[in-house]
Structure 1
Amino acid sequence: MSLNAPARAGTGHPVSKAGARRGATLAFAVQGLSVAAVYTTVPAVTEHLNLAPLLTTAVMVAVALTAGGGSFLGLAAIRRVGPVATMRGAMLTAAATLVLIGRASDEATVICAYILFGLAVGALDIGVNTRAAAIERAYGRSIFGSFYTAWSVGGVVAALLTAGVARLEWPVAAGLSAEAGIVLLLAVCMRTHALPSPAGPSDTLARPPLGRRLWIRLIPFGLVLLVVYVVDSTVSAWSAVYLRQTLAASLTVAPLAYAAYQAGTVVGRAATDRLVQRFGAVAVVNTAALLVAGALVGMAAAPSWPFAVLAAGAVGLGASVLAPLCLASAARLRPAASEMVLARLNLFNYVGVITGGAVSGLLGSTGRFRLAYAVPAALALLLLAAARHFTQPSARPVRRATLPSSGQAPPPVG
């Protein structure tokens, strides 16, 4: 075998940073589309099956809980088959559950479908973030924001499709089936590419135990993710219901707050990498935290649905940069075991989703949705204390790996 054989050539996959980046981008888009498809159809599914408000809240909390479990299932799958195969399997499962949710004819069926969706999206979450961390290491510069831009674009597409289906007065099953078809198409189009090895000694040769100190170092990032996903779940899971119940919006208009929120995240995430390179991660996080707090106050005080839609867009603009920068910084704590670090960090993610979803749902079921948006505004200010812990990637050139003297191929990166 040639001493200049490309890294992971034995896998049969071409070595290409750009190809790996395209594949991860498609997977992020699928995750955003899938989550949006579920959240924006909650009012329609609730009315179609005549679900009680408290049951709807319980189901959304169950989705978050099972997503946490799915994250660790995804971690086990990554260790066995790698992140790309894990992502593809989770994407196909998500497509199937979207169809099942839309065609469910009773409470038991739709609950099972939502739980299965939670498992799928949790596995997809750890898969995409692990892959993104490896790709960013290969590039040696901030690119996490570009992946989350694709996530947001997927969310906007799903929200607008949900609104269009409602406008045409088609059944909710039609919209969810169409969104499932898009997920299936993107899953089929995703290709597997290997990454080149980083120059210098490989950090993947040894994987020391993470230990208690890592948990301590994860606390600031965990705080950020917890608050971000309290905000995200409050807007994502309940903005359509908020517009429908509190601001008397139609089923056609109700998904627009989610669409505006995701449109804001598209703009914010598209600019994230450039902003970090120019102003630094700390300044970007501080500015984003202040914007989120102010926009949530505006959403809570909105006199009508157009104001709420605009405020939701501003929330998305600020919140969009926080999760990708948080995950990227945390992954740098232990590059050789980023999937394990991110799986642990995801615990804070799902605690935030559960807390935000449950509290917002309970307040909404008692007619206090405005309070559900005012409380996270205060929490957003806590992010200012954690901003100093954010870091930026250090440029490290990559090379085509050579075989070590043992004659065995180097270990895979990502």
Structure 2
Amino acid sequence: MTILQKRRAALGSLFFLAGICFASWASRIPDVQVKFGLSESQLGTLLLGLPIGSLVALPLAGWAVHKYGSRIVILLGAIGYMIFLPLIGFSSSIWLLVPVVMLFGMIGNLMNISLNTQALAVEDMYGRSILGSFHGLWSLAGFSGAGIGAVMIYLDVLPRYHYLVISGIALLIVIVAQGYLVKENKSQAGGGFVMKKPDALLLRIGGIAFLGMLSEGCMFDWSGVYFKKVVEIQPGLVALGYVSFMGAMASGRFVSDRLTNRFGRLSILRLSGILIFMGLLVSVIFPTPIYATIGFLLVGFGVASIIPVSYSVAGRSKLYSPGIALAIVSTISFFGFLTGPPLIGYIADLLSLQASFVLIAVAGLGITLLASIRLDVFKNID
């Protein structure tokens, strides 16, 4: 392997680390609920700590990456994961658990911004798009973490020991990978916390990422409900929609780089929006197991490239350093991930679940539109 290939492999392993830590926590949430005797509403309040922590960390992450470089922030974030993941398992009271979960959410976004900033540096060395493959590894880690969690639950292993095992794996990854991370030259553009107005490029790509994350968040939270209540599939196959969406999204990320390099970033964003629109339209018009599954596969492929391509475009801002630019776009898109799922619920109550899925289809068209008008904003990004 060349040194560049080793850098790519090392960074990919750290994307995998971030994904498996998050998925390991998620896989044991039911155990946390039982341990503390939480009702559904109390659990929902606890889980709100994660996005609150993530949101608080967004401007901090941009500033830290700009000031200290992505390598330092990645290593500090990885150490934070190794500490706070087991702390979730060892928390003896809900008063200790809540701040730990919030800090865990903060670490997640520190890792998100720093890993993607590092990925942009490696991508520039390659001279072609490779960001999608890193996001594919994160998705693959999600499947792996869920699988390990299922095994741990089957073996009746307490969450604290499960998390210690994951922290041990994370430590090995950091030891091997840290020597290959890029010590990038920090840009002098736009330091400080993210409080200033984004430029036209970041507003546009932030809007695209917002609609992409809105679609992704809705599919995460509502796929199973849609298959249960609209498709009316047999109980044992309720997860089929979620699995088909997730599988298509993960596999799509591994091929998105090749397609992006061949057809260009804007073409891929336009195609992504059309796939989301077509997939959801098929699922709404023909709510049968076969057609709905095909529709959810199309949506998964559509969602796959949006965030990697959006981050790749944002990192080429002429006015902001990559860390700051990524934090701005992440902040905008994050609100899509937060607001989308409850919005679907409100519309479903007022009209129907199918009507709410039409909204996500329209979001797909919005992505295509934003990638097709006033193209001077995207000058020199392809």
TM-score by length of 1: 0.74
Shift of 1:327: 0.8
1:322 aligns with 2:306: yes
Q: Deviations over 1:328-384 (max 9, x none)?
A: 011112287111111111211221222135546888999x87776554333222101
- The question of whether the paired residues in 1 share the 8 Å contact of 2:275 and 2:364 is answered with no
TM-score by length of 2: 0.79
1:280 aligns with 2:264: yes
- The question of whether the paired residues in 2 share the 8 Å contact of 1:33 and 1:155 is answered with yes
1:349 aligns with 2:336: no
- Which of 145, 151, 160 is the matching residue for 2:132? 145
Shift of 1:232: 2.5
Amino acid at match of 1:118: G
1:269 aligns with 2:253: yes
Amino acid at match of 2:22: V
Q: Which runs of 5+ in 1 are unaligned?
A: 1-14, 198-202, 395-414
1:379 aligns with 2:363: yes
1:219 aligns with 2:214: no
- The question of whether the paired residues in 1 share the 8 Å contact of 2:277 and 2:362 is answered with yes
- Which of 200, 204, 218 is the matching residue for 1:234? 218
Q: Deviations over 1:8-34 (max 9, x none)?
A: xxxxxxx94333322321222122223
Residue in structure 1 matched with residue 174 of structure 2 by the alignment: 187
Shift of 1:315: 3.2
Residue in structure 2 matched with residue 339 of structure 1 by the alignment: 323
**Cα distance in 2, alignment partners of residues 94 and 372 from structure 1:** 36
Residue in structure 2 matched with residue 72 of structure 1 by the alignment: 59
- Which of 41, 45, 65 is the matching residue for 1:58? 45
Residue in structure 2 matched with residue 98 of structure 1 by the alignment: 85
Residue in structure 1 matched with residue 19 of structure 2 by the alignment: 32
Shift of 1:55: 3.3
**Cα distance in 2, alignment partners of residues 80 and 379 from structure 1:** 36
Residue in structure 2 matched with residue 17 of structure 1 by the alignment: 4
**Cα distance in 2, alignment partners of residues 364 and 46 from structure 1:** 27
**Cα distance in 1, alignment partners of residues 21 and 287 from structure 2:** 28
Shift of 1:54: 3.1
Residue in structure 2 matched with residue 111 of structure 1 by the alignment: 98
**Cα distance in 2, alignment partners of residues 38 and 309 from structure 1:** 28
**Cα distance in 1, alignment partners of residues 264 and 103 from structure 2:** 40
**Cα distance in 2, alignment partners of residues 360 and 167 from structure 1:** 34
Q: Considering only aligned residues, what root-mean-square deviation do their CA atoms show, in Å?
A: 4.0
- The question of whether the paired residues in 1 share the 8 Å contact of 2:119 and 2:131 is answered with yes
Q: Which has the higher contact order (CA 8 A, sep 6+)?
A: 1
Q: Identity over the aligned pairs, expressed in percent?
A: 21
Q: Deviations over 1:108-164 (max 9, x none)?
A: 333223211111001101101111111212222111112112111111211222334
- The question of whether the paired residues in 2 share the 8 Å contact of 1:288 and 1:318 is answered with yes
**Cα distance in 1, alignment partners of residues 94 and 15 from structure 2:** 30
Shift of 1:223: 1.0
**Cα distance in 1, alignment partners of residues 31 and 183 from structure 2:** 47
1:163 aligns with 2:150: yes
Q: Deviations over 1:196-222 (max 9, x none)?
A: 99xxxxx96753679978433212211
- The question of whether the paired residues in 1 share the 8 Å contact of 2:207 and 2:333 is answered with no
Aligned pairs for 1:387-406 (under 5 A) are 387-388=371-372
Instruction: From the superposition, tell whether residues 32 and 194 of structure 1 become closer, same or farther in structure 2 (CA, over 3 Å).
Output: closer
Q: Which runs of 5+ in 2 are unaligned?
A: none
Worse-superposed segment, 349-358 or 40-49: 40-49
**Cα distance in 1, alignment partners of residues 58 and 250 from structure 2:** 25
SS of 2:178 mapped into structure 1: coil
Paired residues, number: 371
